[in-house]
């Protein structure tokens, strides 16, 4: 029907085949349409294509569609069908469970690096404190800790001023892990969660403003002590979570729990025998502890790159683009394979 309608339309416009004046080099494009398709633009100066070609261009019905489909299917050889089926099976077996789990793991990773909550805390029972409204300078080089907010030096002082030794932050022999059924009674696991550490420090008694081990002056200067000493020395003084995280990470090394041996060893690094604090040693310990988390994040990303390259990216490049980037042997090039490495 489309061919008949096209023929009648062309014959009804007799001027379509009449000669044109030499001054008219162009003519306005005309469009021929039917109820199903729209044909391409033609001009009066163009030769009319054969009716069979117009019929194929404008539709040709179910037979034309079937013919085109058969042509496409003929290009899909048995070898290509096998590669395609292999890719589908691999995607379903590995991607079906790996990809959703990886997405969730990466969200947790980003939250750990940039978020306000780290492992070992109960976000429901304890509210996160963004700021203590402390005055004074920030902790030097605190940007290396990748904290979600600025860490005031006063908040670090408020934490260290409440810690005398390893027993100041927890009753290690009465932790929940010690009371676990089946634990070794002679050497039980003493694991202090991050959340319990924060709770204990905020409740701990103020032991006095720490002294700078190098200068013998109050840590941060006398002016800072006079300005903030009364506030941080009160019971229940507000301490930002970022400062507590920095102190906890100095001995936890990226873990969600701390053990007494690590706490004692780390305190010996920046807390001297006379009770003074070496601020640079503390910053170094905190940065090293935080760096463990950063290294673990880079390792996790590297593992994902290797896994996805072997299972998905490299096979896709071989089969579709004939490019070989290594990473396993899945997928075969259709012809000459271009190696990039």
Q: pLDDT digit of tens for each residue in the chain (341 aa)?
A: 444 444 444 444 444 334 444 333 444 444 444 444 443 443 333 444 454 554 454 445 555 554 555 544 555 566 666 766 766 676 666 556 667 777 887 887 777 677 666 666 765 567 888 889 999 999 999 888 888 889 999 999 999 999 999 999 999 999 988 888 677 777 888 999 999 999 999 999 999 999 999 999 999 999 999 999 999 999 989 999 999 999 999 999 878 899 999 999 999 999 998 889 999 999 999 999 988 888 888 888 898 888 888 877 888 888 777 888 888 777 777 777 877 76
* Rounded Cα distance, 238 and 132, in Å: 5
State the first-to-last Cα distance of the chain, in angstroms, to the nearest integer.
58
Exposed, middle or buried: residue 67 (CB in 10 Å: 0-12, 13-18, 19+)?
exposed
Task: Give me the phi and psi of 143, to 5 degrees please.
Answer: -65, -20
Place of tokens 């807390």: 271
- Please give the Cα distance from 322 to 315 (Å, whole number): 10
Alpha carbon distance 192, 217 (integer Å): 33
Provide the CA 178 distance to its chain's centre, in angstroms. Answer: 36
C-alpha span between 301 and 317 (Å, rounded) = 21
Angle of the 153-160 helix axis to the 222-233 helix axis, nearest 10 = 60
**Is residue 309 a contact partner of residue 327, using CB atoms and an 8 Å limit?**
yes
Residue 80 has a pLDDT of: 63
Quick one: pLDDT at residue 297? 83
């Amino acid at each position: 029907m489309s061919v008949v309608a096209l023929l009648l339309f062309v014959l009804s416009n007799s001027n379509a085949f009449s000669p044109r004046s030499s001054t008219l080099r162009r003519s306005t494009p005309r469009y021929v349409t039917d109820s199903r398709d729209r044909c391409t633009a033609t001009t009066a100066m163009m030769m009319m294509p054969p009716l069979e070609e117009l019929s194929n261009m404008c539709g040709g019905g179910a037979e034309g569609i079937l013919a085109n489909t058969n042509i496409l299917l003929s290009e899909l050889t048995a070898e290509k069908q096998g590669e395609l089926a292999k890719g589908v099976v691999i995607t379903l077996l590995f991607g079906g469970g790996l990809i959703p789990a990886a997405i969730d793991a990466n969200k947790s990773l980003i939250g750990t690096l940039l978020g306000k909550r780290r492992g070992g805390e109960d976000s429901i029972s304890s509210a996160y404190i963004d700021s203590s409204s402390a005055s004074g300078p920030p902790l030097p080089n605190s940007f290396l800790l990748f904290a979600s907010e600025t860490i005031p030096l006063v908040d670090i002082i408020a934490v260290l001023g409440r810690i005398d030794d390893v027993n100041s932050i927890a009753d290690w022999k009465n932790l929940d892990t010690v009371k676990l059924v089946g634990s070794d009674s002679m050497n039980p696991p003493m694991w202090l969660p991050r959340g319990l550490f924060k709770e204990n420090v905020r409740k701990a008694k103020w032991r006095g403003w720490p002294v700078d081990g190098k200068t013998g002056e109050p840590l941060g200067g006398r002016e800072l002590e006079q300005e903030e000493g009364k506030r941080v020395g009160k019971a229940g003084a507000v301490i930002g979570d970022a400062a507590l995280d920095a102190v906890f990470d100095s001995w936890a090394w990226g873990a969600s729990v701390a053990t007494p041996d690590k706490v004692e060893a780390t305190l010996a690094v920046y807390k001297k025998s006379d009770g003074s604090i070496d601020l640079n040693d503390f910053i170094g310990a905190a940065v090293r502890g935080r760096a463990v988390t950063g290294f673990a994040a880079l390792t996790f990303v590297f593992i994902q790159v290797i896994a996805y390259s072997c299972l998905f990216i490299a096979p896709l490049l071989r089969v579709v683009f004939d490019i070989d980037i290594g990473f396993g042997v899945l997928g075969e090039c259709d012809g000459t394979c271009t190696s990039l490495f």
